[in-house]
Amino acid sequence: MNYKLLMCGLLLGTASISAMAQSDLLKFDPSRFTRQSLTMPDGQKITYKAYEGIYYVKNIEDSTYQTLNIYVPDKMAETPRIPILLRTYIGGYAASTAKSPSPSDATGRALKEGYVVCIPGSRGSNSTITRNGKTIYTGIAPNGLLDLKAAIRYLRYNNALIPGESELIFTDGTSAGGAMSSLLGATGNCKDYEPYLKKMGAAQAPDDVFAAICYCPITDLNHADMEYEWLYSCTNTGIRHLSEKQIAISEELATECSAYINSLNLIKKDGTPLNAENYREYLKNFLIESAHKALQEGCEIPDTIGFTFYQNRQGPAGGGLGGIHQPKHNNGQRPPLDDRRQAPSFGPGNTRQFSRTSDFISELDLDKYLSYVASITPLKTPPAFDQMGVLIPTPSPENKVFGNNQGESANFTDFSLRHRTHNPKANLDKEMIHRVAIMNPMNYIGTDKSTVAPKWYIRHGAKDRDTSFLVPLNLATKLQNAGKSVNFALPWNRPHSGDYNLDDLFRWIASTL
């Protein structure tokens, strides 16, 4: 045999094998699993195959976080197409490793239901690597989101090899994780992320999802400060005990919010515009609906937190997004600051409980209710999110995640940048404006820039003060206006938390399939 030809063939062979290996780096290996089990709270043992520590990008920057785990139950659901629950454990915009399923949250429950579970890790504000002796922060925005999108692409790229249907991905997260879930739901296949994903070596596959489960999403970050003050400034001189300087910041932010609310051009369920004038009434409907449901389930609601009860065995009409509870007074206007009531006292002798299913609520004094929320967990001081350098030097989790890869935190709103630098004309630079924009799901819903998930489950506890009620409510309303199916509620007595009422969640999941 011609030696040259043989060498050429060998070389070509080697080259094509390595090219193949290269192109197959993202191929799922169905034979690489361990057998695992977990015991559910009711004692039931769930057994499953665990595929763990899978790298989901070719160009791994941070091997601690850029991996995912997949869990496939032995007893699969009997639905024709099996969904995949993709649960992120991101909290506080920090990094999160790929975790194992837990019997006490949606991951264990999904396995029990016979669904496939994927738990990706992702980089975040505190993840670092050392390069040439220097510490590099790997998880500044939007990197955590990009990792989750790459994980989705991995599932979709390997649809034929991974059990479950990658066109039926349900993303699930709480708080910053809820924000990520909302972004995954809102930004599917969007070109804005393509250059980053390409650089990371993410799979060439779609990244839109079927459904997004969002518990208390800490999102709309560049408006969250004004939304917080617009809602809670009524407590500034009451339970919040703000200083004069804090009140000035609070009122400046609150004033900016009305224009923002109006700019959203949202529509209520009855077809009329939602605006800054009628927004408080809109919000009250959801809080009243939440309290009604609690009353009907036998909960006790104190009569000191703002609700007015009436007795009527027929109950109220309406319910759902834009329910038709009719306010008796207040005419949809914010009362003037000095007219607002002080927080109620919660001494034992002062709490008459209502637990009668024949009692219904005719009205809610929103300021009183907001003071009640603030009495449970003290409110954040203004600005609640972009706080660094305005009145205190300390960076918030959001300042950190919008920082640079040297670990320096940054402002992400003109408002806070101007206050920190004492330059009323200061503006965020182009790069920051872009990073902030691609971290906000509100910029994609109702546009043709992305494939938005058709199904949404959004929850924000009725006593959760980590962000303004306006944030989840605007998100839900905008999605509904865009024709998406939205299951939204402010569950009674829930603080900042997630993956609760799993019966309700899994009933909803089944209903969407």
Residues that bind ligand DHB (CB under 6 A): 91-93, 175-176, 218, 385, 397, 466
Radius of gyration of the chain from its Cα atoms, rounded to whole angstroms: 25
Supply the minimum distance, in Å, between the C-beta of residue 175 and ligand DHB. 3
Q: Could you give the residue ranges of the DSSP H alpha helices within 119-243?
A: 143-157, 176-186, 194-200, 221-232
Supply the minimum distance, in Å, between the C-beta of residue 496 and ligand DHB. 6
**144/164 with CB nearer ligand DHB:** 144
Supply the minimum distance, in Å, between the C-beta of residue 93 and ligand DHB. 6
**56/93 with CB nearer ligand DHB:** 93
**88/246 with CB nearer ligand DHB:** 88
**The two three-digit tokens of residue 465, written as one number:** 């003060």
**219/285 with CB nearer ligand DHB:** 219
Supply the minimum distance, in Å, between the C-beta of residue 460 and ligand DHB. 12
Q: Could you give the residue ranges of the DSSP H alpha helices within 89-136?
A: 106-112
**Length of the chain as a residue count:** 513
Supply the minimum distance, in Å, between the C-beta of residue 205 and ligand DHB. 28
Supply the minimum distance, in Å, between the C-beta of residue 384 and ligand DHB. 7
**385/508 with CB nearer ligand DHB:** 385
Question: Which amino acid is present at 225?
Answer: D
Cβ–Cβ under 8 Å, residues 374 and 294: no
Supply the minimum distance, in Å, between the C-beta of residue 414 and ligand DHB. 19
CA dist., res. 404 & res. 137, Å (int): 7
**Residues near 25 by beta carbon (within 8 Å), at least 6 away in sequence:** 55, 58, 201
**90/417 with CB nearer ligand DHB:** 90
**Residues near 75 by beta carbon (within 8 Å), at least 6 away in sequence:** 46, 47, 114
**365/464 with CB nearer ligand DHB:** 464
If one counts every other C-beta atom within 10 angstroms of the C-beta of residue 255, the result is: 13
Q: Which residue is nearest to ligand DHB (CB)?
A: 175
Antiparallel, parallel or unpaired: β 116-120 and 34-39 = unpaired
**The two three-digit tokens of residue 4, written as one number:** 């040259």
Antiparallel, parallel or unpaired: β 67-73 and 116-120 = antiparallel
**182/480 with CB nearer ligand DHB:** 182
Nearest to 362 by CA among 398, 317, 322: 317
Supply the minimum distance, in Å, between the C-beta of residue 215 and ligand DHB. 10
What are 213's strand-pairing partners?
172, 457
Cβ–Cβ under 8 Å, residues 174 and 216: yes
